Chains A and B, each alone.
Chain A
Amino acid sequence: AQSVTQPDIHITVSEGASLELRCNYSYGATPYLFWYVQSPGQGLQLLLKYFSGDTLVQGIKGFEAEFKRSQSSFNLRKPSVHWSDAAEYFCAVGPSNTDKLIFGTGTRLQVFP
């Protein structure tokens, strides 16, 4: 069955610290992978996406993610977190020809000064 797992429900980091949010997926075919961010009371904003090619992808707001096929993972990273990064982060997978995205349950990021 197709699924996305975000093992960490809630993560707390200090401002300036590095961040890694985990995402594992189960998908029959080669997936398209996405990370979205949802700020409180807001819609979802696409941070980055991976289709093929270089397994390290750069996104907006200084985020990057690395696709590891052998581990079925697509972890999101940021070298130095800012207080404005506090939000809910969703990993998603989709097929190559449509956008029926399957979302993980999200990871809530709290940032302390």
Chain B
Amino acid sequence: DTAVSQTPKYLVTQMGNDKSIKCEQNLGHDTMYWYKQDSKKFLKIMFSYNNKELIINETVPNRFSPKSPDKAHLNLHINSLELGDSAVYFCASSSLGAPGAFFGQGTRLTVV
């Protein structure tokens, strides 16, 4: 009965590969997000989707492409992975107009 679940929890991959991280929420929320936490624990928003529509797209390389097949899912696809992409990626969800996001457990991505 996990509220926001991400898979995989850990991902180790080589430079140049393409990988995806999946996120699902069962809270009935209409807005989902991807945040990136770097090695210094700094958290920054990457994307926000509301009802499958892109709302926020921060300055993120276009190698990162979010996809929302429905309101409960927001996946993150990363092309041509680089060493600097190594980080923990958090998915989150909330209801628009009721701030306070629920976060998933995070996916620790390591690019070697």
- The answer to whether A44 touches B55, judged by C-beta atoms less than 8 angstroms apart, is no
Interface size on A, residues (CB 8 A): 23
Q: How many residue-residue contacts, CB under 8 A, span A and B? A: 60
- The answer to whether B100 touches A103, judged by C-beta atoms less than 8 angstroms apart, is no
- The answer to whether A105 touches B56, judged by C-beta atoms less than 8 angstroms apart, is no
- The answer to whether B106 touches A43, judged by C-beta atoms less than 8 angstroms apart, is yes
A-B contact pairs, 28 of them (CB 8 A): A34-B100, A36-B103, A38-B41, A42-B106, A43-B4, A43-B90, A43-B105, A44-B43, A44-B103, A45-B103, A46-B100, A49-B99, A49-B100, A90-B43, A98-B48, A98-B56, A98-B96, A99-B96, A99-B99, A100-B48, A100-B56, A101-B43, A101-B45, A103-B42, A103-B44, A105-B41, A106-B41, A106-B42
Residues of A participating in the B interface, judged by any CB pair closer than 8 Å: 32, 34, 36, 38, 42-46, 49, 51, 88, 90, 94, 96-101, 103, 105-106
